[in-house]
Structure formats: C-alpha cells, structure tokens
Amino acid sequence: QCLLSGTWRSDTGCRMVVSVLSEDGRFSGSYLPGPAAGGPEILTSALEGSQQDAGVVPQPTFSFTTAWTTTFLGQCYVGTKGEETLHALWLMREAADSPTDDWKATR
C-alpha cells in the first residue's frame, strides 16, 4: 500500500511519526533525529509533507520538511512479501553570511 501514516524508524535510529494522510496526500507529524545526529540538544521537530496518491502510483514518492530547515525526498517501496520500506535523501540548509558563502550552506 505504501501509506506513510504511522511510525517509521531509520537504520541510524531516527524516528518519523506521520499523521493520517489527507485526501490530497498532505501529512504532518514529528521527526526525532537518532543518536548519530549529535548531542541531547537535538529535539523533536514538527514536519509537513506530501505523498503521491498510492492508489494511482504503487510505489509513491514523498517529501517533507522539518522545522530546522531540513528536507527529505524519497520513495516508498513495497517488497515481495508486502513489507514497506522508505528510501530517502536529505538536504540540510544552514544560513549563509553572504552570497559568496552560499555554496557551503547546503549539506
């Protein structure tokens, strides 16, 4: 099915909790980075996103943004035994002091 609603955990211990998807594929929820993200000052962040219609596309793409300028883009895959797996790429943006520093602001 590949519906994002529910709780997802990454290989590195990050956790994403997604509310029920709306009819137009929008969702909200929370994101908690895992231990690899740093010290205890990293807290849960709100997230907002959208997913392709899983009724039309069997393995839909999705994207979401967290409150601390991080964006995730990915796709949900359904395995041969019906298991759902998310594969995602993340981009994190830091503030740049000037346009000449722009190149190093995105990780």
Q: Give me the number of domains the chain comprises.
A: 1
Angstrom distance (rounded) from CA 17 to CA 9: 9
11 lies in some domain: yes
- CATH code, domain carrying 47: 2.40.128.30
63 lies in some domain: yes
Q: Tell me, what's the pLDDT at 16?
A: 92
Domain span at residue 90 reads: 6-35+43-104
What is the three-class DSSP state of 35? helix
pLDDT digits (tens, 9 = 90+) for 4-26: 889 999 888 889 999 888 989 99
pLDDT digits (tens, 9 = 90+) for 49-96: 999 998 888 899 999 999 877 899 999 999 999 999 999 998 888 889
For residue 103, give both structure tokens.
């190149």
Those residues whose C-beta lies under 8 Å from the C-beta of residue 18, and which sit 6 or more positions away, are: 4, 5, 6, 7, 8, 27, 28, 29, 47, 49
